[in-house]
Structure 1
Amino acid sequence: MVYDANQVPEHLLIKIEHRDDPVSAVSEDDARNRAAAYPKLMWGAPIFGSAQEANGRWRILRLNADSPQDARDSLASHFRRLHSETPQTPEHAAERAEYESVYELLDWEAVDELTVNGSRYRIIRAQPFIRMGADGPEPPRPTDPDPYPPGQTKRDTSQLDGFAIDPAAGTGLTNGLVRMEMISASYHPRAVPGDVHADSRLAVTTHPNVVLLPVGFTVGECVAGRWRPRSSTTYATPQDARDAESFSISDVGVKLDDDTPMEEFMAAYERARAAHRPPRADDFELKGVPCRVTRVETFVRVGPDGPEGPRPSDPDSHLPPARLMQEPDASA
């Protein structure tokens, strides 16, 4: 379908804005340089979360789940919290009853679309990717905020929480080019099963635009000449990733087994944690293994009715909790 320039639907729009401020100019220059130095895009496993529609705009509630069911469980917890925070008064009785009804439903059923007290909620799907170059994955850019010193990043919260999924929002030239590249992108047919590839091709049609989400960071490690992530967790800032991923249970010094009192292990854990000095550099070694703080970009597909939900081929980790508890009895 051909649209007049002034009548392009929001879900098809990419609005490039020229920004004259110095910070934007430096950020654009960083982006161009990194696109040349790290030209290969590598997709990771999809992540899942929930979003709420308010006043015609979808906003992310949480986006950190490895499977659709984990996201549903998190959404049920969100409604439990709203139920507990709603006053126990007669005028709020219907509101509380609806929250209770919905979290009980999510305990039993794999539901991806809900309308609760007048607001729409949806389980959403997002696609992370990293850039690779001749020397490995892309590290943080000079313009990526990294405000806190080592060991003091607990104040950081996810930039995804409350983020508006707005395809019509203005963007810089480089991000606009990335979005245009991602619009037609799908899984390679030889890299994934047939149903996964078919779903990714269908998503290009049903959700024909993409929105780039706030950048996150993780730590990669180079083992036997190949880079791989140390964990699946993405953090808000580079130092947050260094703090978390440069320390592990193996650093405690006390082996946790059936004979180890938990109090002894936790005391050793706190001592080891206090003695740990997280690195500040983007490249460092952990027990002789080269590591690098890695920049993680993420996009969500959008269509005329908002962000994309889970695909039929997306693996779902487990049953809803109430049904999961019944599973041993069912198999007996």
Structure 2
Amino acid sequence: MADDWKRQIDRLHEGLVRRDDPTEWVTEADAVDASYRYPHLALRGPVFGLAAQDPETGAEWRLLRPATSGMPQEARDSLNSLLWFKAKDDTDDPAVRRELLAAVAVLEREPVDEMTVLGVRYRVVRGDEFARSGERGLEPPRPTDPEPADRSWEGRQETPSPDLGFALTPGKEDGVMAGAMKLALQGFSYSGSRFPAEVRRDSERALTSHPDIVLLPVGFGVVERRGRGWRPHGALMPTPHDARRLLFDGMAEFWPLLHEFSDRERTRHARAAETFKAAGRADEARVGDTLYRICRIERMLRSGPDGPEPPRPSDLDDEGPTKIHPTMDEDGTIRYDD
């Protein structure tokens, strides 16, 4: 297996040399530099998304919903909504609507991780989220990480998630350092007493059942440090600037309301937000003893002969299935009194 991975990395390197693309060389050099400055991996935990295999578009599994949910049920609920709105908006055929609504009814009752509806296979998929760390703490964005064309600080901006439509293909060409990362992660499993025994067993079992590694698109988030530990603060964002906007809006507007800041705390956060914004592409802000940092977040997903890994038996949910949308009849009539 190690020889196979070495041959794959050699092939990636040969391809990089053959293409002679300066942008790719700079990106690879950036990744090499990061591997020295941030040599350790800090595991945050599992994430869940929704993928589909549609025979009309090919054999590949592709993400339909970003792999950012903290629990499997959130992804199941996203499938519930996807199918319900398909029944509402995408068909006038009662038979088609009936099949869609039958699947919705199952999802309202049972924690189902896979189903086939109208010939399309849907699956809740499981990944792991981690960040690189070193003496300087968690890794910030790299110079070569893409930024949106419009880096405005005002108005409503929604950069599309790079997860949407992403092909979960283990063997695709990712670059030399990405290939090396896949090699490093191939044998990764949860270990240590902080993980329950059933979590460790499921993780070890996944090495055999889903041996291949898929690296998902890189994301960016806000992390907070008070004392020695870091903790995430908000959602995963698609670009560094989107994460900076999240931090700025949090300090200037949302956190004072959410946490009921005193006038003094409100003023300190507002001042820090303006200083952060004025710096343009800063990756840190400090308010008193609290350090905020824009952090580069990576995710991996395991895949096997039958596609991407679903949730494991030891993955936990706070809530179970429930009815999300009003009752719909096969003719499209929606009843709000049920």
* 1-structure distance, mates of 2:258, 2:45: 33
Judging changes above 3 Å, is the alpha-carbon distance between structure 1 residues 168 and 296 closer, same or farther for their aligned structure 2 residues? same
* 2-structure distance, mates of 1:42, 1:179: 16
Residue pairs, 1:248-287, within 5 angstroms: 248=250, 249-252=254-257, 277=274, 279=277, 280=280, 281-286=282-287
Aligned to 1:326: none
- AA of the residue aligned to 2:226: V
Q: Secondary structure at the match of 1:46?
A: strand
Aligned to 1:316: 317
Report if aligned partners of 1:49, 1:123 keep a CA contact under 8 Å in 2: yes
Q: Secondary structure at the match of 2:286?
A: strand
Aligned to 1:106: 107
Aligned to 1:266: none
Q: 1:83 aligns with which of 80, 87, 104?
A: 87
* 2-structure distance, mates of 1:207, 1:45: 18
Pairing 1:155–2:158 present: yes
- AA of the residue aligned to 2:319: H
Judging changes above 3 Å, is the alpha-carbon distance between structure 1 residues 202 and 289 closer, same or farther for their aligned structure 2 residues? same
Q: CA deviation at 1:189?
A: 2.8
Aligned to 1:31: 31
Judging changes above 3 Å, is the alpha-carbon distance between structure 1 residues 134 and 108 closer, same or farther for their aligned structure 2 residues? same
Residue pairs, 1:161-200, within 5 angstroms: 161-200=164-203
Q: Secondary structure at the match of 1:158?
A: coil
Aligned to 1:263: none
Report if aligned partners of 1:179, 1:212 keep a CA contact under 8 Å in 2: yes
* 2-structure distance, mates of 1:106, 1:253: 33
Q: Which runs of 5+ in 2 are unaligned?
A: 262-268, 325-338
Aligned to 1:201: 204
Q: CA deviation at 1:288?
A: 4.8
Q: For 1:16-36, what per-residue CA distance to the aligned partner results, in whole angstroms no more than 9, with x for missing partners? A: 342421111000000000000
Q: For 1:257-300, what per-residue CA distance to the aligned partner results, in whole angstroms no more than 9, with x for missing partners? A: xxxxxxxxxxxxxxx99xx7563301222455221100000011
- AA of the residue aligned to 1:251: P
Pairing 1:42–2:42 present: yes
Report if aligned partners of 1:70, 1:317 keep a CA contact under 8 Å in 2: no
Q: 2:238 aligns with which of 207, 216, 236?
A: 236
Aligned to 1:66: 70
Q: Which runs of 5+ in 1 are unaligned?
A: 257-271, 324-332
Q: Secondary structure at the match of 1:45?
A: strand
Aligned to 1:330: none
* 2-structure distance, mates of 1:235, 1:194: 33
Q: For 1:70-104, what per-residue CA distance to the aligned partner results, in whole angstroms no more than 9, with x for missing partners? A: 1101110011111112232xxx2222111111111
* 2-structure distance, mates of 1:159, 1:178: 20
Aligned length: 295
Aligned to 2:20: 20
Q: Secondary structure at the match of 1:236?
A: coil
Question: Identity of aligned pairs, percent?
Answer: 37
Aligned to 1:259: none
TM-score (norm 1): 0.82
Aligned to 1:119: 120
Judging changes above 3 Å, is the alpha-carbon distance between structure 1 residues 2 and 190 closer, same or farther for their aligned structure 2 residues? closer
Report if aligned partners of 2:226, 2:289 keep a CA contact under 8 Å in 1: no
* 2-structure distance, mates of 1:136, 1:235: 20
The alignment yields a C-alpha RMSD, in angstroms, of 2.7
- AA of the residue aligned to 2:256: D
Report if aligned partners of 1:114, 1:120 keep a CA contact under 8 Å in 2: yes
Q: CA deviation at 1:150?
A: 4.1
